[in-house]
Amino acid sequence: MTVKKTGRKRLVAAGALLTALCLCCVSVGITVGQLPDELTVSRTSALTESTSLCTFLPTRLAYSGSRQASARLFGLIPLKTLPVRTASPVRVKLGGTLFGVKMYTDGVMVVGLSDFECRGRSRNPAREAGMEEGDLIRSVNGQRMYRSDDFSEIAEHTDKEMKLEVVKQDGSWQKMTLIPLYSDADGCRKTGMWVRDSAAGIGTLTYIEPESGTFGGLGHGICDSDTLRMIPVRGGEIVEAEWIDVKRGVKGDAGEIRGCLGAGTLGNIRSNTLCGMFGQYTAALPDEPENEYEVAVRQEVRVGAAQVYCTVDSSGKPRFYDIEIQKINYRAGEQAKNMIVKVTDPKLLDKTGGIVQGMSGSPIVQNGKLVGAVTHVFVNDPTCGYGIFAENMLRAGEG
């Protein structure tokens, strides 16, 4: 009997040890997965051995060279060698204000395909030629296309081949040919596709860099509402926007800031990227020294209390509201969804229900530095959403 009990105890002990080892391996794996791909240092954010790199297990730094650092679990076990990038500190003016967007596509975008009757048969020349929603038509018969009206004019008045130069959604270039057919119902020639050459909307300005005049906003790219494709930008402008009201967000239904575009031009659009919209701010900068903040590098961002700076009422002026940074992804591979944030301020929750459409680009401030911007709302929990590192926006804006 004693031998059997001893055997059971050993089996239990062995099982417990094996479980502990498995949990340890999983924990280390998660920790390594959370480590950044590189580190950035500046004169005001020097890395030290107390710099925390992970929110799962305690991971500290040990320098292994002038341009490298070693991430060590509990400060002892080496996990990963990280390249160190040196950057000069940058100070920017906080945005937080609403702005309107008027942008023009670099070509005409196919936003829909529609069959029609031709001699009693259902036809679609565009679909038959291999065209798809989201395709970008750059030229027709060697002529650059910028306006949808120009494309329609050519299609309605030709019975010959239209030779198209097309950029597909995967970025590949293709030469395609189609012949517009006569529509029995409309009495003119048609290609069977709807095209668009511009887009407009409202978002929030994140920052303006006083020295260069570069602005950044939204924190994510603008996609076509029909095809969900990132819109390639030929140019455009940002303009003043007037707040009208707010539709509060509830579970399952994202809210939104309702507004209209104003007449005053604020700047020119240069690029539409995964990290936001960027360009040159041409309006006069407000003389507000207290509104200038240093941009934090990613390893300075911490789980915990922070504030979002946004405009959500009829005053038209941005205010600070309390939020909590709940989770951080330090890896460089994720460009836009770098952190999960939760609105905790009762005033903002009362006004909006949390994060709503139109707040994208609202600056996030922590420990006196600009650390990021709000990008997306969780539809099933509008009090929470994603944020992007300000460092990522700054780099995209420089490009």
Pairwise CA distance, residues 168 & 173, whole Å: 6
In the residue annotation, 253 being an active-site residue is answered as no
In the residue annotation, 360 being an active-site residue is answered as yes
Q: 165 near 139, Cβ under 8 Å?
A: yes
In the residue annotation, 157 being an active-site residue is answered as no
Burial 19-28 (b: 16+ CB within 10 A, else e): eeeeeeeeeb
Reduced 3-state DSSP string for 218-269: CCCCCECCCCCCECCEEEEEEEEEEEEEEECCECCECCEEEEEEEEEEEEEE
Number of H helices, E strands in the chain: 5, 26
Pairwise CA distance, residues 9 & 48, whole Å: 46
Give the active site residue among 150, 226, 313, 345: 345
Query: Measured over all CA atoms, what is the biggest interatomic distance in the chain, rounded to whole angstroms?
Result: 99
Give the active site residue among 106, 220, 224, 376: 220
E strand or H helix that includes residue 262: strand 256-273
Give the active site residue among 148, 360, 362, 376: 360
Q: What is the DSSP letter of 60?
A: E
As annotated, the active-site residues are 220, 345, 360
